Chain A
Amino acid sequence: MKKHRTSPTTDSRYKPARPFNADEFGRVRRILGGKVLFVQGDAAVAYGALLAGCRFFAGYPITPATETSEILSQLMPRVGGVCIQMEDEIASVGAIIGASRAGVKSMTATSGPGFSLMQENIGYAAMTETPCVIVDVQRSGPSTGQPTEGAQGDIMQAKWGSHGDYELIALSPSTVQECLDLTIEAFNLSETYGIPVILLTDGIIGHMREKVVLPEFEEIELTWRREPTKPKEEFQPFLVDSTKIPEMAIFGTGYHTYITGLTHSETGYPATDSQVDHHRLVQRLCDKIRDNRDRIVQVERDYSDGDKDTIGIVSYGVTSRSVNSAVKMLRQDGLKIDHLRLVTNWPFPEKEVAELSERANRIVVPELNLGQVYHGVREAVAGRSEVIPLWKTGGEMHVPHDIVELVKGGVK
């Protein structure tokens, strides 16, 4: 059995402009309590944010995401940060974009209905290349749905929720430990690429308690946005080098920085009349992520020995836990199972799924919705394997037995 996790750490080209020193990190660690904790996923997200150096949180309470706000309302003042309860989710994401531009790592947390409200400003963050982290603790929708039940219904919305063309990154934790680890990763990625990063947890993991081990300062890498390297008079806020990622001047530091949701030139000023300017800008917003997809995309492979005639399962988030159990049962029955877990939902791990389709004759895709990642898998597989969905909604996880039955050929 091969178990391999690709873990591209954030690009070493981008050194933190403002290193978070070991003393400050240690102070946060002490506030959080011992090294080993037994906490909810929502708490792990809050702790991960503080350890990543997040010092601004704005949110509006919503089940099952409220605990993150609640915890940060208590802890932010103790680490010199700010936590604001806003009037709604639109204002919350607006506030974190502003705070990020003012030089502070910023986050909000919500669930489906609030995430829907945030979409316009997520597009604004993408267009203005403002790093920020948005946590969506998914619950059953559409609309108000089942407030206390978990779901995986916002995968497509995370990528396509705002209008126009842009790229962002979305991550799916499957354990409470990963809620903490991937929150740190989300900050690193947003700071590196100057984009909103979406952390897609769910009501099950958000409210479940599990063991969490807090990292040591030396064990993690923290990234900050690139600050200007040019003299003030030469600085243009959207002028890029070969990385296609602009340097980011903090508001109020004397650099001329103008940002707008309108199509803009390198100066930041509107340039809405030019087809060339618009195309170049939007192409770059997409390219800065697409060019780096190998650095960004994380998957976990738990593959069988051999390289063909296997049965594949693609899973992500909380559903991976049920799949792990099913994989164990199926292997006990002598089946060759390849389990590909998507840690990154967006950019879609198309290459990794395509590789799986070279080995697997059938690929089963269990998810807590009525078909979202299924479509990405089908596109990547391009007819090489049979893709079989296993959809479930209503707030309960897949029972491992159902996955086993489907994989063994039972038609649902």
Chain B
Amino acid sequence: MIVRFAGFGGQGIVVSSYIIGKSAVLDGKKAIQNQAYGSESRGGECRGDVVIANEEIYELEPTNYDVLVAMTQPAYEAFVPLLKPGGTLILDSDLVVTDKKLEPKKIKKHAIPATDIAFKKFGRKIVANMIILGYMNTLLSPVSESALEKAISESVPKGTEKMNLEAMREGIRLAREGKG
């Protein structure tokens, strides 16, 4: 499974791709993770790619994706045409307006107001990516839930583990309830 997370610096885009890759390795699968960002560490366009497979991964720079997580309008517009037909698009519904003309055929679309929920429920917009991670993993199961939990706990700043895990569980709940 090839997943691209895209948005702007500060939304936890790169760390999301890292967490999925690390979870896959904890599950005993193969994974590679890459990122690209501008010279600004916050506010610039950025993306994180992760490839998960049971076999050796030879294509390190995939050009098409099974899943796109778009957290900004420019990210959506730039990368949704690269989604494979039948692929899955997950976006933050408050930050992205979709345009059918840009989209490949038969993609599955899921829109949740992750940033808004993060702010209202946890008082921190920054955990929107954790809501998305929980949501995406429940929808598509690229990694086990236990590995995801462990990877999140080991990857977020000390003292914030509980909030991040709760945000992830919120994402799981939204997916189970069929939201988006």
A-contacting residues, B113-161, CB 8 Å: none
Is A407 an interface position by the 8 A CB rule?
Answer: no
Total number of residue pairs linking A and B with CB closer than 8 Å: 48
Identity of the chain A residue whose Cβ is nearest the Cβ of B50 in the assembled complex? A209
Q: Is the CB of A324 within 8 A of B30?
A: no
* Residues of A close to B93: CB separation below 8 A: none
Cα distance A396–B63 in the bound complex, in angstroms: 11
Chain A min CB distance to B3 (Å):
14
Q: Is the CB of B58 within 8 A of A322?
A: yes
B-contacting residues, A366-390, CB 8 Å: none
Is B7 an interface position by the 8 A CB rule?
Answer: no
* Residues of B close to A328: CB separation below 8 A: 58
A-contacting residues, B1-52, CB 8 Å: 18, 21-22, 25-26, 30-36
Q: Encode A193-215 as 1/0 by CB contact (under 8 A) with B.
A: 00000000000100111110000
Take A38-B18, A38-B22 as given contacts and tell me if A207 and B58 are in contact as well, using a CB distance cutoff of 8 Å.
Answer: no
B-contacting residues, A198-256, CB 8 Å: 204, 207-211
Cα distance A36–B59 in the bound complex, in angstroms: 22
Q: Is the CB of B32 within 8 A of A210?
A: yes
Q: Is the CB of B34 within 8 A of A36?
A: no
* Residues of A close to B33: CB separation below 8 A: 38, 208-210
Q: Is the interface of B mostly helix, strand, loop or mixed?
A: mixed
Q: Is the CB of B60 within 8 A of A204?
A: yes
* Residues of B close to A260: CB separation below 8 A: none
Cα distance A27–B63 in the bound complex, in angstroms: 42
* Residues of B close to A396: CB separation below 8 A: 61
Which of A36, A209, A325, A396 has most chain B Cβ within 10 Å?
A209
Cα distance A210–B33 in the bound complex, in angstroms: 7
Cα distance A208–B21 in the bound complex, in angstroms: 11
Is A318 an interface position by the 8 A CB rule?
Answer: yes
Is A321 an interface position by the 8 A CB rule?
Answer: yes
In-complex Cβ contact of A207 among B31, B34, B56 (8 A): B34
Chain A min CB distance to B37 (Å):
9
* Residues of A close to B56: CB separation below 8 A: 324
Chain A min CB distance to B89 (Å):
24
Identity of the chain A residue whose Cβ is nearest the Cβ of B58 in the assembled complex? A325
Is A397 an interface position by the 8 A CB rule?
Answer: yes
Cα distance A209–B34 in the bound complex, in angstroms: 6
Cα distance A204–B26 in the bound complex, in angstroms: 23
Q: Is the CB of B59 within 8 A of A38?
A: no
Taking A322-B59, A325-B58 as known contacts, 6 extra A-B pairs with beta carbons closer than 8 A to each other, sorted by chain A number, are A38-B22, A204-B61, A211-B30, A318-B60, A324-B58, A325-B59
Please list 25 pairs of residues, one from A and one from B, whose beta carbons are closer than 8 Å in the complex, sorted by A's number: A38-B18, A38-B21, A38-B22, A38-B25, A148-B36, A204-B60, A208-B33, A208-B34, A208-B60, A209-B21, A209-B32, A209-B33, A210-B32, A210-B33, A211-B30, A321-B57, A321-B60, A322-B58, A322-B59, A324-B56, A325-B59, A396-B61, A399-B63, A400-B58, A400-B59
